[in-house]
Amino acid sequence: MESVGIALRGLEKRFGEVAAVAGVHIEVPPGAFLALLGPSGCGKTTILRMLAGLEDPTGGEIAFGERVVASGQRGTVVPPGERNVGLVFQSYALWPHMRVKDNIAWPLKVQKWDSATIARRVQEVLALLSIDHLADRYPHQLSGGQQQRVAIARTLAPRPRVLLFDEPLSNLDAKLRAEMRTELLRVHRASGATSVYVTHDQVEAMTMASHVAVMRNGQVEQFGAPGDLLRIPSTPFVATFVGTPPANLVAAQQVNGRYCYKSVDLGESNGVQSPLLMYRPEQLRLANGPGPRCLSVEFAEATPVAGRVIVTVWDERQRINIVTDQLPSYRLGDSLYIEFPAQPDAIFGQDEQTLAMGIVPTLA
């Protein structure tokens, strides 16, 4: 049995002088669900296109199991049609003149499956996606969620070894997106394929993926299990990009062996002159007034979430999130105080690497 589902080894893609992907190393086992998470322009869609064979790498290689399907150094490029890959686009890309069952059957006809096998397989994927009753409808007769299910069924029909998803839920409303996340996971597990899912939505990545690669400027900032990214972020970018709400960073200064932010004493220094101190929202609290480790801030908003409240305040131009149990009565622009704990949850150096990491409880 193969130990590698997908491997990216030193993968690069340049467009002239611009490095869209710069030396990416990722390896996941067969059947994994890998999320490429990051902001627009970080290189995640370019990686997906190279996996699909729509772009050729300028360096490094891509392997599906033991088979190298693309190599920038050797010039090896396996055509898209020979990679056994299924791609689900952000747009549904259904043929408007074909019924649902004909849209699903189309890739099988292209691969010259016999008609009896096509009919059986179409029925299988219709049942898998719970859209049997839509078989004879045309795309314009379907809702957005139904069209997305048809697009996924069409992708699954040829039994691809690798499934690629390019932000497939971005056109759906919030409620349907939550439902489709569960549906996609069920489909992924039923297919047995190794999946790669591109998204800028960290909720999608953290709830669906077995492995997450957080990307920035064409490189992987951190790669690991979703829980590891939350517990032990390796860079300030990961700390402030992952989590609901994400962690807070404070640019402190060392004064007489103590870390200080403005006039607030944030504890004993570990010797770094200008660190970034990380505080998880559940470690901060609203204070009744000025006091030790208290900072004056301006109220922005309060959002009830899962029985608790995310309070957002402004410290000049910096947003700070605090998780509390009670909905506060402040109004926009009101002054209040927040209190820092005795020590930060993590300390990042000037090279943006983790220097120290505390053991803290996670938000229930």
State the pLDDT at residue 271.
75
Mean pLDDT of the chain: 90
Predicted confidence (pLDDT) per residue in 91-146, tens digit: 778 999 999 999 999 999 999 999 999 999 999 999 998 899 999 999 999 998 89
Mean pLDDT of 311-331: 94
Q: First CA to last CA across the chain, in angstroms? A: 38
- Closest Cα partner for 159 from 100, 103, 89, 86? 86
State the pLDDT at residue 349.
82
State the pLDDT at residue 148.
87
pLDDT band at 361 (very low <50, low <70, confident <90, very high): very low
pLDDT at 49 over 70: yes
Q: Quick one: three-class SS letters along 259-273?
A: EEECCEEEEECCCCC
pLDDT at 296 over 80: yes
State the pLDDT at residue 274.
80
Mean pLDDT of 45-61: 95
Predicted confidence (pLDDT) per residue in 204-244, tens digit: 999 999 999 999 999 999 999 999 999 999 999 999 999 88
Spell out the domains of the chain, with CATH numbers in brackets: 6-236 (3.40.50.300), 244-353 (2.40.50.140)
pLDDT at 12 over 60: yes
Q: Which tops the pLDDT comparison, 172 or 140?
A: 140
Q: Which tops the pLDDT comparison, 267 or 36?
A: 36
pLDDT at 359 over 60: no
Q: Which tops the pLDDT comparison, 177 or 295?
A: 295
- pTM tops 0.75: yes
pLDDT at 353 over 60: no
pLDDT at 1 over 60: no
Residues 6+ apart with CB under 8 A from 155: 86, 87, 88, 163
- Asked if 27 and 64 touch (Cβ cutoff 8 Å), the reply is no
- Asked if 198 and 44 touch (Cβ cutoff 8 Å), the reply is yes
| H or E element at residue 177 | helix 174-191
State the pLDDT at residue 122.
96
State the pLDDT at residue 121.
96
Task: Concatenate the DSSP letters of all residues of 242-304 into one string.
Answer: SBTTBPEEEE-EEETTEEEETTEEEEE--S-SSPEEEE-GGG-EEESSS-TTEEEEEEEEEEE
Mean pLDDT of 80-95: 88
pLDDT at 362 over 90: no
Predicted confidence (pLDDT) per residue in 234-272, tens digit: 999 999 999 889 999 999 998 888 999 998 999 888 777
